[in-house]
A and B are shown apart, each in its own frame.
Chain A
Amino acid sequence: MAYVATRGGERAIEQAERLYRAQMGPIDAGTVAEIEAALPSLIDRVMGEASLYAPDLAALALAQSGGDLYEALLLLRAWRTTQPRLQIAEVVEPDQGFTHRRISAAFKDIPGGQILGPTLDYAHRLLATDVLQGDTFSPAPVEPARKPAPARHPSLAEWQKEQGLIADKPLQPVEKDDIPDLTREPLLFPAKRAHSLQSLARADTGGMLALGYSAMRGYGNAHPTVNELRLSEVEVMVRHPGGATFSAGRVKTSQAEVVTARGKTDLSIGFCATLGWNEVKVIAGATLDLNAPGAPKNSPVNEEFFLYHTEPVESSGFCIHFKLPHYVTFQSALDNLRAARAKREPAKSPVQTEEPA
């Protein structure tokens, strides 16, 4: 099939899409439900990057794209952007979430306690090949603790502020309807704080890890200590037109605070939060946030640099756009090259300039 066939393009793209979909077969509600049930971490990651908390839509997008993460994201983002923004939910304070997991690397124990919660951190990563032989891999049941952990926890940073370890910056109160919304306005620099945090929340996990890791290895100016990492569920509180505030449901959230002692009198802090449980993302994001103040322009920890380059829909789209034909631009460059060569060959002098017309 020709790439830019004269008349035939429309049929070609139609058939190309069919070829791709033929690999995946039909999709039905059962497929979607199975993906949603079996792959919660993937669903969480996709919901975070799509900035759309809808596990069933995320599962559908994954099914429809055959598991191509960037395609799934684009499906969700393009759907999301057409939806009306009915209202802004109430602000969630850190201590209001229902905490599933909460750890701090900065202290052995912290007020409220360390809660390990669900994690594979200490699992032995052995592939369960028996499953392929026909066995079922059934996880052993969880044994409840004698005393359940408290559901709500204070923020560790609050304690540090009381101790004078973290500067207690005055709140800058914003009406919730006035919070700048990245999905409705462009990201400009210096960025509004809300835009920065929103960008981090929907950034590409892999991209953020790459840049955050470069800062952790030493290309940044601050080495992070995980002050607090939290996985929670929070209520989405919205207002009924009649005036009552009610919970529209719970969403899973991750948040990380990392700190560093940068030779000053108090600790510097970096923060990142996202929808869904995605620990790598929030630790890497908080590390970037920690390193951003005063970072040299054009360094990986400069805010403009990392926010632009971790936008998953933009970066993946631009990357694949290089597959599009570029023969007009190439032709234009070729014309210059030939003319320059023709000029150079007879003369061979180092600088030949155009004669005035």
Chain B
Amino acid sequence: MTALAKQPPQLVRTRPLMTLNGISKTYDDVTALDDVSAQVYPGEVLGIVGESGSGKSTFLRLMNLQETPDSGSYHLDLPDLPDNLFTLDRFERRMLCARQIGIVYQNPHEGLLMTHSSSGNVAERLLIAGERRFHVLREKAQSALEASEFPIPRMDAPPIELSGGMQQRVQLAKAIALEPAVLLLDEPTTGLDVSVQALVLDTLKRLQQERRITMVLVSHDLGVIRTMADRVMVMRRGQVVEDGLVDQVFQDPQHAYTQQLVHAKL
């Protein structure tokens, strides 16, 4: 790691890496997101909290370009990208996601091929990006799994034979295999035992510190957000009700809903 990376990222680059502006999305008659904007700076961890139905997962899926909003724009501050990523076609989105956006889902079935090998799951991402050397696929899959603290002797076991915590580590390895610009985490430790949850969070934390990966972490669990995030957005009914540094929001919540959330947890 360079010395630069150890400094607060805002000092290195002041332009946000991700900019989402005025995002609205409705399904049938239900408004999932109503004019939501967010900015994420390089190396930062943005937490998004809210109860189920608040729109936080929809927001994350949009960041992963899995869907297109009714209105709003999305920009990533990387070379050769359009001002609004939602103008990309399916093919361009797939290539961009393979290279620059990693995602870990709450449900490993969403992110993994359960009966393929774990290393193959990681390799798939490299294959999509065009890697055609078998030994490079093996090496890169192995090093991503190592970085996710996955036991290497098990690297060719299919996820279906692994524990929930290990499955999340495979998802994580797949997400970071190509060193993406952004890592999206959708309730990555929900449903895991508390002790396993802590271990997975440790891995995430370590990765974040070592690699300064920009992350967006969606969780309903304030504890998880508090451990991981620099900044937090509180969402309710498709809108952002409060937004600020984690310590500030949790110690001195302004919005009534946030106050209720914080008090219920503490």
Taking Cβ atoms with an 8 Å cutoff, the residues of A that contact B are 350-351, 353-354, 356
Contact = CB atoms under 8 A, between A and B. Distances in A.
A353 B134 contact: yes
A356 B135 contact: yes
A263 to B, nearest CB: 15
A contact patch SS: loop
B92 interface: no
Nearest to B153: A350
B17 to A, nearest CB: 36
A356 B138 CA distance: 14
Contacts, number: 7
A351 B152 CA distance: 13
A353 B156 contact: no
Interface residues of B, number: 4
B contact patch SS: helix
Nearest to B133: A356
Nearest to B119: A351
Interface in B185-239: none
A11 B134 CA distance: 52
Contacts of A351: 156
B156 A354 contact: no
Nearest to B117: A351
Interface of B: 134-135, 138, 156
B57 to A, nearest CB: 21
Contact of A350 (B134, B138, B156): B156
Contacts of A354: 134
A354 B134 CA distance: 9
Contacts of B138: 353
A350 B156 CA distance: 9
B18 to A, nearest CB: 32
Contacts of A350: 156
A221 B143 CA distance: 46
7 contacts: A350-B156, A351-B156, A353-B134, A353-B135, A353-B138, A354-B134, A356-B135
A233 B138 CA distance: 68
Contacts of B134: 353-354
Contacts of B156: 350-351
A123 to B, nearest CB: 50
A351 B155 CA distance: 11
Nearest to A351: B156
B181 to A, nearest CB: 31
B118 to A, nearest CB: 13
B70 to A, nearest CB: 22
B142 to A, nearest CB: 11
A351 B135 CA distance: 12
5 tightest A-B contacts by CB? A353-B134, A351-B156, A350-B156, A353-B135, A353-B138
A356 B134 CA distance: 9
B46 to A, nearest CB: 34
Contacts of B135: 353, 356
A350 B134 CA distance: 16
Contacts of A356: 135
A354 B156 CA distance: 17
A351 B142 CA distance: 13
A169 B134 CA distance: 56
